[in-house]
């Protein structure tokens, strides 16, 4: 179970997310969170993540080069290469991590995005509860790169209350 944001607007969502999610709204929360990292340009603001981002870009370029040299879709070799590139990108993106402040900002933006998209914020919240429950187990990759637990849920609840009161408006920056 993992998801991440990469360079050039890339967002990766592993199948585990969909398997853990109880409904579509929970998957939307994960996507909106990663869109939040993109919208706030979090990758470019971290030196460590710039390096990981460059690696992801190189893997994608390699995959595109392979596709171009085969020149046709549907070849088994191409499919295998694309799958390997996908796994590599997922692995590299799994190494991209953000500060606690950036995670809070991504959650806040996610709540704004979901609110403005008319997606049920209370249903979406369920994913944070699932994450908190899973946080004692080691096999959940998401927890290596994302905070989980009561603080994150409390932060989400505060954000949602604020965003509902502001009818989806963003807070003024100081
Ligand atoms: Zn995040």
- Each residue's pLDDT tens digit, 33-59: 999 999 998 887 766 677 777 777 777
* CB-CB contact of 4 with 34 (8 Å): yes
- Each residue's pLDDT tens digit, 105-119: 999 999 999 999 999
Q: Which residue has the tokens 């879709």?
A: 73
Query: What is the Å distance from ligand 1's center to 42 Cα?
Result: 9
- pLDDT score, position 75: 65
- What dihedral do alpha carbons 52, 9, 90, 138 form, nearest 10°? 80
Q: pTM for the complete prediction? A: 0.78
- pLDDT score, position 76: 67
DSSP 138: T
Instruction: Please give the angle made by the CA atoms of 136, 140 and 142, to the nearest 5 degrees.
Output: 110
Q: What is the mean pLDDT of the chain?
A: 82
pLDDT below 70 — which residues of the chain? Answer: 46-48, 63-76, 78-79, 81-83, 86-87, 90, 94, 136-147, 173-174
- pLDDT score, position 74: 56
State how far the Cα of 104 lies from the Cα of 100, in Å rounded to an integer: 6
- pLDDT score, position 34: 94
Query: What is the Å distance from ligand 1's center to 73 Cα?
Result: 34
Query: What is the Å distance from ligand 1's center to 54 Cα?
Result: 19
Query: What is the Å distance from ligand 1's center to 72 Cα?
Result: 36
State how far the Cα of 103 lies from the Cα of 5, in Å rounded to an integer: 12
């Amino acid at each position: 179970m993992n998801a991440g944001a990469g360079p050039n607007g890339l967002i990766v969502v592993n199948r585990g997310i969909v398997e853990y999610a109880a409904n579509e709204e929970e998957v939307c929360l994960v996507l909106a969170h990663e869109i939040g990292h993109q919208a706030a340009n979090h990758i470019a603001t971290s030196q460590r993540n710039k390096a990981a981002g460059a690696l992801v870009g190189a893997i994608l370029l390699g995959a595109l080069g392979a596709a171009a040299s085969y020149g046709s879709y549907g070849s088994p070799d191409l499919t295998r290469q694309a799958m390997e590139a996908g796994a590599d990108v997922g692995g590299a993106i799994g190494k991209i991590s953000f500060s606690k402040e950036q995670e809070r900002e991504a959650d806040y933006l996610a709540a704004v995005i979901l609110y403005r998209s008319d997606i049920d914020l209370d249903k979406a919240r369920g994913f944070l509860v699932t994450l908190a429950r899973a946080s004692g187990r080691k096999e959940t990759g998401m927890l290596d790169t994302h905070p989980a637990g009561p603080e994150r849920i409390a932060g989400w609840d505060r954000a949602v209350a604020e965003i509902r009161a502001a009818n989806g408006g963003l807070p003024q920056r100081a």
